[in-house]
């Protein structure tokens, strides 16, 4: 009796599809996924490198924390919508504030003080700048990109009139830097970020 011919394919199995037989849109999707995953991996590594350098600077700049100004606690609480309030300092670090806050990030326009105080109450560090050296601004933007949580983020916002100086603020804490000192700024951010009175997370 002749042997039965073996089937080359199992019944019901889907035919194998070679990459060169894929449709153009399928190749586009696969290529896009590869590019995206590669970019995400590169971005993750970049952030890790930036954060490692940040921590090194923070450790070396701890001595500058002795120059941090401790402000008078002006309390908190929300003001009514549309209501204004006067702060004793151009860069307030506590007091009555708006019901909404400024999210972490970089802003090239002036943000309302009443909202920035709420950001600080959350535990964000708010940094004011005007016309700083480009290298310093780039470094601070990198750090703001690292820390974007609403309870421990960094806000970088413009403050016309302070020139090349930077003013770093947290809840009842201020550090004024002119010229910019990367290690001092990193130490301030690392010490006070995420330690606001409303919801401390560090």
Options 3.30.310, 3.40.50, 3.40.30, 1.10.1200; which CATH number does 62-192 get? 3.40.30
- DSSP category for residue 99: S
Q: Percent of the chain having pLDDT more than 70?
A: 84
Q: Is the pLDDT of residue 11 over 60?
A: no
Q: Where are the extended beta strands (E) located within the chain?
A: 69-70, 105-107, 125-129, 154-158, 166-170, 173-177
| CA dist., res. 16 & res. 110, Å (int) | 60
pLDDT of 196 reads 96
Give the pLDDT of residue 8: 47
The mean per-residue pLDDT over the stretch 56-79 comes to 95
pLDDT score of 114? 96
Beta-bridge partners for 174:
69, 169
Sign of CA dihedral 71, 72, 77, 78: negative
Whether 2 shows a pLDDT value over 60: the answer reads: no
Distance between CA atoms of 75 and 93, rounded to whole angstroms?
10
Q: Which of 145, 144, 130, 146 is nearest to 180 (CA)?
A: 130
CA distances (Å), origin 79, targets 87, 117, 136: 13, 12, 35
- The C-alpha atoms of residue 10 and residue 171 are separated, in whole angstroms, by 70
Neighbour count for residue 53 (Cβ, 10 Å): 15
């Amino acid at each position: 009796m002749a042997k039965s011919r073996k089937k080359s394919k199992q019944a019901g199995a889907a035919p194998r599809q070679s990459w060169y037989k894929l449709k153009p849109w399928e190749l586009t999707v696969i290529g896009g996924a590869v590019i995206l995953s590669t970019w995400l991996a590169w971005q993750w590594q970049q952030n890790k490198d930036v954060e490692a350098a940040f921590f090194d600077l923070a450790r070396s700049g701890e001595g500058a924390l002795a120059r941090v100004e401790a402000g008078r606690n002006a309390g908190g609480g929300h003001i009514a919508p549309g209501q204004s309030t006067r702060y004793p300092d151009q860069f307030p670090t506590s007091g009555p504030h708006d019901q909404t806050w400024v999210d972490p990030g970089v802003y090239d326009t002036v943000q309302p003080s009443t909202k920035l105080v709420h950001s600080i109450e959350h535990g964000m560090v708010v940094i004011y700048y005007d016309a700083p050296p480009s290298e310093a601004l780039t470094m601070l933007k990198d750090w703001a990109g690292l820390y974007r949580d609403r309870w421990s983020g960094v806000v970088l916002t413009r403050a016309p009139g302070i020139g090349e100086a930077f003013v770093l603020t947290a809840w009842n804490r201020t550090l004024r830097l002119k010229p910019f000192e990367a290690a001092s700024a990193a130490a301030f951010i690392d010490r006070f970020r995420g330690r606001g009175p409303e919801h401390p997370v560090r």
